[in-house]
Structure 1
Amino acid sequence: MSAEAEGRSAAERFREEQHLGVQPLGDLVALIEQATGIDVAVLEADQDQHGLMMRDPQRDAVFIGVACTSRPMRQRSTLAHELGHVLFTDVTDNSAGAWSHRSHEEIRADAFARHLLIPIEGLREFLGERELLSQSVLSEVVQRFLVSPSIAAIALCQAGYIDAATKREWLALTTPQLATRFGWSDQYRALRDESARRRAPQRLLARAISAYAEGVLSVQAIATLRGITRQEAEAELREAGVVPSEQPVEWADLTELPDADVDLAALDAALEGPDHDAAAPEVTAGEDG
């Protein structure tokens, strides 16, 4: 089976298992965390770093991290791509993303991401029997499924709505261009602001907040985890009714304390000895020079 076929089959299976139908997907971070139990974080990273998946075979633990970016559609495709690696149990080399040589695993993860984000049947359900599609329809597809124009163009070509020449032409378009031309730049700006913010794994953050409420973790730790100021974190927690509980100090009952067996003989002997300071010679001002 080809990498494309494997990716499509896995995406369809994931949607079926999670009862997602063929509709557009919303918050991918929450979806991945809830569906798989995997911790996902949006992190500040170098410009060339998009995403990674790390697996600890000893603890059977997996972590997905994606970079903060002003390109929300890319972030979504990166999240879906890394989920593909997880489901295929790939052991990936983080440096293997160079386009000069795309491995079978990378091509398969690309296909999985595309079919997960914009399933062919969902596209057909949305467009119906439309013919001779224009860029305005491409914009509708991008806006509805929240994918890049290139991913949308590939899906439209696979579904038989456009030919290869139109696909090549549309591959050069960008989401900001379509959003500006067709009137949804405000929505795109909101998506961009969201994708540019750090985001901590939900389970980790929930445990941290619980520890803060118990009075065993500082508010600064939560602020650092979220990438906000201490004052912002404290204000949000207080508004939500989350305040650290005061840990009661339990004093021991004196009757429960053990008897102290202290030998003071050496101290008594020292106190009863001669007063050496009293025998010290007096020093006059003249002798002091």
Structure 2
Amino acid sequence: MSRLSAEEDGRAAAAKFRLDHGLGVWPLNDLVALIETRLDIDVAVLEVEANGGEHGLTMFDPKSEATFIGVAKTNHPMRQRSTLAHELSHAIFRDWTDYDQQVPVARAFREQRADAFARHLLVPEDSLRWFLRDRTAGEISLAHLSSVVQTFLVSPAIAAIALCSAGFIGAQTKAEWMVLRTPGLATQFGWLDQYRTLQADSSRTRAPQRLLTRAIRGYEQGVITVETVASIRGIPASEVKDELDAAGIVPKTVEPEFLRAKDLPAVESDRAFLEALDTLDDLNESVDERIAGM
């Protein structure tokens, strides 16, 4: 039996994902929330340098069988969405390993399949046919391209490829539209304010929801400080404190238990450990003195 191409494999997986999760033909809004609430996957938006065009990664821990997707924060919201969908493909196909696949999958094939999956997930051909149901081939203008980009929150390049694949435009128009930029379309067709809002959202870091939930639960129990919660979110502790207070989330008050001296357990001192601490203190003082004298 012949094997599916990367395009066919990605399209089929995207259609199955939409079907399995009841997404229909509708545009997908918050991809981070969709992935975290529908799948056993943690997602984070990170403040990292996107070197060499790498804007996302997928990691799998074989010991805990936990999957993690990370994407870079950016002022290019459409790119961030396509990166998220691309990395989701790697997670669905378990591209981090070939050991459980009968035929090893080449890296190029995996990347092509992930690109196809992302495009068909974000803007399926059936969705375009529904969205442009009153239009036929030859009637699609630049304004329609702008509407597709605005509604499905994809780049003009992805929108142009999808429109061509669905039979709405030809190869020449696709090539012309693929080089357009989202800010230009948003400015020309009056939705630049919406685009700025999307930029603001994609430019913020975002902690994995499950991790943050556990941290807040720990804060309520009095075992995690507000500074720890703030470090997870990447914002000032004072801002987190105000948000938690406004939500009525406060640390549990633990009444101290008083014991008599004779009820306390015997304490065995580790003399070697204490001596090591003294040595460390002396070393720190020496370093401080040298710095002060410079």
Asked if residue 17 in structure 1 is aligned to residue 20 in structure 2, the reply is yes
Measure, in 2, the Cα distance between the counterparts of 1:5 and 1:259: 69
Given residue 26 of structure 2, which amino acid in structure 1 is its aligned partner? Q
> Could you say which structure has the larger radius of gyration?
1
Measure, in 1, the Cα distance between the counterparts of 2:49 and 2:84: 17
Measure, in 2, the Cα distance between the counterparts of 1:249 and 1:157: 70
Higher helix share: 2
Corresponding residue number in structure 1 for 2:70: 65
Change (3 A) 1:252 1:169: same
Asked if residue 213 in structure 1 is aligned to residue 216 in structure 2, the reply is no
Given residue 231 of structure 1, which amino acid in structure 2 is its aligned partner? S
Corresponding residue number in structure 1 for 2:41: 38
| Partner SS state of residue 143, structure 2 | helix
Measure, in 1, the Cα distance between the counterparts of 2:162 and 2:173: 12
| Partner SS state of residue 249, structure 1 | coil
CA shift, 1:253, in A, is 6.5
Corresponding residue number in structure 2 for 1:78: 83
| Partner SS state of residue 63, structure 1 | strand
Q: How many aligned positions are there? A: 251
Contact 2:40 2:67 in 1 (8 A): no
Contact 2:85 2:118 in 1 (8 A): yes
Asked if residue 147 in structure 1 is aligned to residue 154 in structure 2, the reply is yes
Asked if residue 163 in structure 1 is aligned to residue 166 in structure 2, the reply is no
CA shift, 1:102, in A, is 6.9
Q: Which of 52, 56, 68 is the matching residue for 2:57?
A: 52
Measure, in 1, the Cα distance between the counterparts of 2:62 and 2:209: 22
Measure, in 2, the Cα distance between the counterparts of 1:258 and 1:59: 39
- Equivalent positions of 1:1-289 (< 5 A) are 1-48=4-51, 49-91=54-96, 103-131=108-136, 132-252=139-259, 257=263
Change (3 A) 1:8 1:235: same
CA shift, 1:259, in A, is 12
CA shift, 1:251, in A, is 2.0
CA shift, 1:147, in A, is 0.5
Measure, in 1, the Cα distance between the counterparts of 2:253 and 2:191: 50
Measure, in 2, the Cα distance between the counterparts of 1:5 and 1:232: 47
Give CA deviations for 1:113-151 in whole Å, capped at 9, x if unaligned: 000000110110000141321111000000010000000
CA shift, 1:91, in A, is 1.4
Given residue 78 of structure 1, which amino acid in structure 2 is its aligned partner? T
Q: Percent identity?
A: 57
Change (3 A) 1:252 1:182: same
Measure, in 2, the Cα distance between the counterparts of 1:20 and 1:90: 24
Measure, in 1, the Cα distance between the counterparts of 2:112 and 2:265: 75
| Partner SS state of residue 190, structure 2 | coil
**Tell me, which stretches of 5 or more residues in structure 1 are unaligned?**
93-100, 261-289
Change (3 A) 1:258 1:175: closer
Given residue 241 of structure 2, which amino acid in structure 1 is its aligned partner? E
| Partner SS state of residue 212, structure 1 | helix
TM normalised by structure 1 equals 0.84
| Partner SS state of residue 48, structure 2 | coil
Given residue 41 of structure 1, which amino acid in structure 2 is its aligned partner? A
Measure, in 1, the Cα distance between the counterparts of 2:129 and 2:230: 45
Measure, in 1, the Cα distance between the counterparts of 2:122 and 2:29: 10
Given residue 23 of structure 1, which amino acid in structure 2 is its aligned partner? W
CA shift, 1:257, in A, is 3.4
